[in-house]
Amino acid sequence: MNPLIELKNMTYQAQQKTILDIPSFEIYNGEFLGIMGPNGAGKSTLLKVLSFLEKPSSGEILYRGQTVLNGQAPMELRRRFSVALQQSLLLEGTVFQNIAIGLTLRKTPKPMIKEKVAHWLELFDISHLAKKNALYLSGGEAQRVNLARAMIVEPEILFLDEPFSALDFPTKIRLMEDFKRIMEETRTTAVFVSHDLMEIHYLTNRLSIIVNGQVKQSGPTPLVLEHPNASTQSFLNEWKKFLPALTGSSFKEEKVLKG
* Among positions 14, 91, 112, 223, the unique one binding ligand ATP when judged by CB under 6 A: 14
Q: Kindly state whether residue 160 participates in binding ligand ATP, applying the rule CB under 6 A.
A: no
Q: Kindly state whether residue 238 participates in binding ligand ATP, applying the rule CB under 6 A.
A: no
Q: Kindly state whether residue 163 participates in binding ligand ATP, applying the rule CB under 6 A.
A: no
Would you say 5 or 41 has its CB closer to ligand ATP? 41
Would you say 44 or 146 has its CB closer to ligand ATP? 44
Q: Kindly state whether residue 19 participates in binding ligand ATP, applying the rule CB under 6 A.
A: yes
Which 195-214 positions form the footprint of ligand ATP (CB under 6 A)? 195
Which 30-69 positions form the footprint of ligand ATP (CB under 6 A)? 37, 39-45
Size of the site for ligand ATP (CB under 6 A): 12
For residue 8, list its beta bridge partners: 24, 60
Determine whether 242 is exposed, middle or buried from the number of CB atoms within 10 Å of its CB (0-12, 13-18, 19+). exposed
Single out the residue of 205, 140, 136, 204 nearest to residue 173, CA to CA: 140
Q: Kindly state whether residue 216 participates in binding ligand ATP, applying the rule CB under 6 A.
A: no
Q: Are 221 and 205 in contact (CB under 8 A)?
A: yes
State how far the Cα of 151 lies from the Cα of 25, in Å rounded to an integer: 24
Single out the residue of 43, 41, 45, 61 nearest to residue 13, CA to CA: 45
Phi, psi of 239 (to 5 degrees): -70, -35
Shortest distance in whole angstroms from residue 195 CB to ligand ATP: 6
State how far the Cα of 226 lies from the Cα of 245, in Å rounded to an integer: 10
Question: Which spans of this chain sit near ligand ATP (rule: CB under 6 A)?
Answer: 14-15, 19, 37, 39-45, 195
